[in-house]
Structure 1
Amino acid sequence: MSDVDRRRAQARLKAAQVEYFPQFESVTWYKEPHLRKLYAMSLVLMIASATTGYDCMLVNTSQQFQRWQQFFGPDISDNNKLGILINMFNIGSIVSFFITPYVADHFGRKVAIVLGCILMIAGGCLTGLCIDFTMYIVGRFLLGFGNSLSQMASPLLLTEICHPQHRGPVTAIYNCLWNLGALIVSSIGWGTAYIDNDWSWRSITLIQTVPSLIQITFIWWLPESPRYLVNKDRNDEALAVLSRYHAGGDVHNAVVQFEFKEIKETIQMDRDADKATSYLDFFRTKGNRWRLAIVVSLGIISQYSGNALFSNYINLIYEAAGITLQNQKLAMSTGKTILDLIVTIAAALNVDRFGRRPLFLISTSGMVVAFACWTATGAIYENTNMTSIQSGYAQLVFIWLFGVFYDIGFSGLLVAYALEILPFHLRAKGMMIMNITIQAALAVGKFVSLHLLLFSTMLMLNPVKRTRLPGTTFHVTGCLCFFTPAGMWSN
Structure 2
Amino acid sequence: MQAVEDKAVLSVDGEKPFYKNKNLLRLYLQMIPGTLIVSATMGYDGSMMNGIQAVDRWNIYFGYPTGSLLGIMNAILPLGAVFGIPLAAYISDHYGRRWAMTAGDIIMIIGAIIQTSSINIAMFLVSRFVIGFGLTIAGSSAPMLTAELAHPTSRTTITSMYNTLWYVGSIIAAWVTYGTFRINNDWSWRIPALLQMIPSIINIAGVWFLPESPRWLIGNERYDEAKQILIDTHGEGDPNSELVRLEFEEIRAAIQAEMALGKQSWGQLFNSPGNRYRTFLVLCCAYFPQWSGSGLVSYYLAPVLRTIGITSQERITLINGIIQIWNMIVSMIGANLVNRLGRRVIFVSSTSLMLLAMISWTISGSQYTMHGSGAAGSAVLFSLIFFMSAYNFCWNPLSVAYPVEILTFPIRAKGVSLLVGAVKSASFFNQFVNPIGLEKLQWKFYIVYCSWLGLVLAVVFFLFPETKGRTLEEIAVIFDKDFYKTEDVEKTVLEDDKSSEKNGNLTVETREKI
Q: TM exceeds 0.5?
A: yes
Q: Distance in 2 between matches of 1:40 and 1:172?
A: 15
Does structure 1 residue 440 correspond to structure 2 residue 432? no
Q: Distance in 2 between matches of 1:289 and 1:261?
A: 27
Q: Work out which of the residue numbers 8, 31, 50 in structure 2 matches 1:42.
A: 31
Q: Distance in 2 between matches of 1:82 and 1:404?
A: 26
Does structure 1 residue 59 correspond to structure 2 residue 32? no
Q: Distance in 2 between matches of 1:346 and 1:447?
A: 31
Tell me which of the two structures has the higher relative contact order, counting C-alpha pairs closer than 8 angstroms and 6 or more residues apart: 2
Q: CA deviation at 1:334?
A: 1.1
Q: What's the CA shift string for 1:131-169, capped at 9, x where partnerless?
A: 222221111111101111111111111111111111010
Q: CA deviation at 1:26?
A: 4.3
Query: Could you say which residue in structure 2 is the equivalent of 1:423?
Result: 408
Structural mapping, 1:280-295, within 5 Å? 280-295=267-282
Q: Distance in 2 between matches of 1:234 and 1:450?
A: 51
Q: What's the CA shift string for 1:343-380, capped at 9, x where partnerless?
A: 11011111111111101111100001100000000010
Are the aligned partners of 1:155 and 1:415 in contact in 2 as well (CA < 8 Å)?
yes
Q: Distance in 2 between matches of 1:419 and 1:24?
A: 25
Query: Could you say which residue in structure 2 is the equivalent of 1:182?
Result: 170
The CA RMSD over aligned residues, in Å, is: 1.6
Query: Could you say which residue in structure 2 is the equivalent of 1:6?
Result: none
Q: What's the CA shift string for 1:267-295, capped at 9, x where partnerless?
A: 10112112x11222222211111111111
Q: Work out which of the residue numbers 353, 366, 379 in structure 1 matches 2:340.
A: 353
Are the aligned partners of 1:52 and 1:151 in contact in 2 as well (CA < 8 Å)?
no
Query: Could you say which residue in structure 2 is the equivalent of 1:298?
Result: 285
Q: Work out which of the residue numbers 16, 25, 29 in structure 1 matches 2:14.
A: 25
Q: What's the CA shift string for 1:301-354, capped at 9, x where partnerless?
A: 111111112222211101101101011001111111111100110111111111
Question: Which 10-residue stretch deviates more, 92-101 or 428-437?
Answer: 428-437
Q: Work out which of the residue numbers 86, 107, 115 in structure 1 matches 2:95.
A: 107
Does structure 1 residue 127 correspond to structure 2 residue 115? yes
Q: What's the CA shift string for 1:24-80, capped at 9, x where partnerless?
A: 634521111111111110111110011111123222221111010011117x25x43
Q: CA deviation at 1:254?
A: 1.2
Counterparts in 2 of 1:32 and 1:131: CA distance versus 1, 3 Å: same
SS at match of 2:310: coil
Counterparts in 2 of 1:264 and 1:27: CA distance versus 1, 3 Å: farther
Q: Distance in 2 between matches of 1:26 and 1:350?
A: 20
Consecutive unaligned residues of structure 2, counting only runs of 5 or more, are 7-11, 465-514
| TM-score, L = length of structure 2 | 0.86
Query: Could you say which residue in structure 1 is the equivalent of 2:493?
Result: none
Pairs aligned (count): 456
Structural mapping, 1:384-399, within 5 Å? 384=371, 386=372, 388-399=373-384
Q: Work out which of the residue numbers 451, 455, 478 in structure 2 matches 1:483.
A: 455
Does structure 1 residue 336 correspond to structure 2 residue 323? yes
Are the aligned partners of 2:47 and 2:320 in contact in 1 as well (CA < 8 Å)?
no
Are the aligned partners of 2:85 and 2:137 in contact in 1 as well (CA < 8 Å)?
no
Structural mapping, 1:174-253, within 5 Å? 174-253=162-241
Structural mapping, 1:153-172, within 5 Å? 153-172=141-160
Structural mapping, 1:140-159, within 5 Å? 140-159=128-147
Query: Could you say which residue in structure 1 is the equivalent of 2:390?
Result: 405
Query: Could you say which residue in structure 1 is the equivalent of 2:357?
Result: 370
Counterparts in 2 of 1:26 and 1:357: CA distance versus 1, 3 Å: farther
Q: What's the CA shift string for 1:196-244, capped at 9, x where partnerless?
A: 1111111111111111111111221110000111111111111111111
Q: CA deviation at 1:17?
A: 2.5
SS at match of 1:305: helix
Amino acid at match of 2:461: W
Amino acid at match of 1:131: I
Q: CA deviation at 1:181?
A: 1.1
SS at match of 1:237: helix
Query: Could you say which residue in structure 2 is the equivalent of 1:273?
Result: 261
Query: Could you say which residue in structure 2 is the equivalent of 1:68?
Result: 58
Q: Distance in 2 between matches of 1:66 and 1:421?
A: 46
Question: Which 10-residue stretch deviates more, 427-436 or 362-371?
Answer: 427-436
Q: Distance in 1 between matches of 2:299 and 2:199?
A: 22
Q: Distance in 2 between matches of 1:133 and 1:351?
A: 43
| TM-score, L = length of structure 1 | 0.90
Q: Any runs of at least 4 consecutive aligned residues in structure 1 with deviations exceeding 6 A, and if so which?
A: none
SS at match of 1:350: helix
Q: What's the CA shift string for 1:365-415, capped at 9, x where partnerless?
A: 00011000000000101111x3x1111121011000000000111000111
Are the aligned partners of 1:180 and 1:341 in contact in 2 as well (CA < 8 Å)?
yes
SS at match of 1:417: helix
Query: Could you say which residue in structure 1 is the equivalent of 2:82?
Result: 94
Q: CA deviation at 1:191?
A: 1.0
Amino acid at match of 1:207: L
Amino acid at match of 2:215: R
Q: Distance in 1 between matches of 2:274 and 2:3?
A: 24
Are the aligned partners of 2:285 and 2:400 in contact in 1 as well (CA < 8 Å)?
no
SS at match of 2:212: coil
Q: CA deviation at 1:445?
A: 1.8
Percent of residue pairs bearing the same amino acid type: 34
Amino acid at match of 1:350: L
Query: Could you say which residue in structure 1 is the equivalent of 2:472?
Result: none
Query: Could you say which residue in structure 1 is the equivalent of 2:503?
Result: none
Counterparts in 2 of 1:477 and 1:113: CA distance versus 1, 3 Å: same
Are the aligned partners of 2:72 and 2:431 in contact in 1 as well (CA < 8 Å)?
no
Q: Distance in 2 between matches of 1:307 and 1:337?
A: 12
Consecutive unaligned residues of structure 1, counting only runs of 5 or more, are 1-15, 457-468
